[in-house]
């Protein structure tokens, strides 16, 4: 009788994956968004480094920084985000934590980039928020569900 009582419990531990088939899909979704968002940040950085006159800056904005410096920040951050996005495909737990941190840094960098290219910044902030949400909704985050 003790063995039959443990079998349904073991089946219950594997049941969340069958009840939530898209749980691992959130990790893939986050990885694809990280790669896409990272590539967009790379293009953003390259354009800021190559042509400072492409961007129109708002006067008297609180955050006034050099465009070339921001270009290098976005370029390096974009490369790291793309690499972390590829690492998410391995399923490593550290890649999930790094992805959440990098998406937060990306959102912060794009918030400070708002005076230079508002629409692009808002799109990348939204992508970063979706990445954080998808990584927090993935497997292992809801053990007791």
Contact 88, 99 (CB under 8 A): yes
Tokens of 87: 């690492």
Tokens of 29: 């979704």
Sign of the C-alpha dihedral computed for residues 63, 66, 69 and 74 taken in this order: positive
Average pLDDT over residues 80-99: 90
Tokens of 62: 């609180």
- Give residues with Cβ within 8 angstroms of 42, minimum separation 6: 74, 75, 78, 79, 82
Report the pLDDT value the prediction gives residue 127, as an integer from 0 to 100. Answer: 92
Tokens of 73: 């920040």
Assess whether pLDDT exceeds 50 at residue 21.
no
pLDDT digits (tens, 9 = 90+) for 102-119: 999 999 998 988 888 888
Assess whether pLDDT exceeds 80 at residue 139.
no
CA distances from 133 to 3, 4, 11, 50, 98 (A): 39, 38, 28, 33, 14
Report the pLDDT value the prediction gives residue 12, as an integer from 0 to 100. Answer: 44
- Give residues with Cβ within 8 angstroms of 110, minimum separation 6: 120, 121, 122, 124, 125, 128
Report the pLDDT value the prediction gives residue 128, as an integer from 0 to 100. Answer: 93
Assess whether pLDDT exceeds 70 at residue 61.
no
């Amino acid at each position: 009788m003790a063995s039959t009582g443990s079998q349904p419990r073991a089946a219950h531990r594997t049941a969340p994956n069958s009840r939530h088939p898209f749980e691992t899909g959130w990790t893939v979704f986050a990885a694809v968004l990280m790669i896409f968002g990272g590539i967009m940040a790379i293009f953003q950085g390259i354009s800021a480094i190559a042509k400072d006159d492409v961007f129109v800056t708002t006067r008297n904005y609180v955050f006034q920084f050099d465009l070339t410096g921001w270009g290098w920040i976005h370029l390096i951050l974009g490369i790291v985000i793309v690499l972390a996005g590829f690492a998410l495909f391995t399923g490593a737990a550290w890649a999930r934590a790094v992805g959440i941190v990098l998406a937060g840094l990306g959102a912060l960098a794009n918030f400070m980039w708002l005076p230079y290219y508002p629409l692009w910044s808002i799109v990348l902030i939204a992508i970063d928020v979706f990445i954080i949400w998808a990584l927090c909704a993935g497997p292992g985050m809801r053990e007791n569900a």
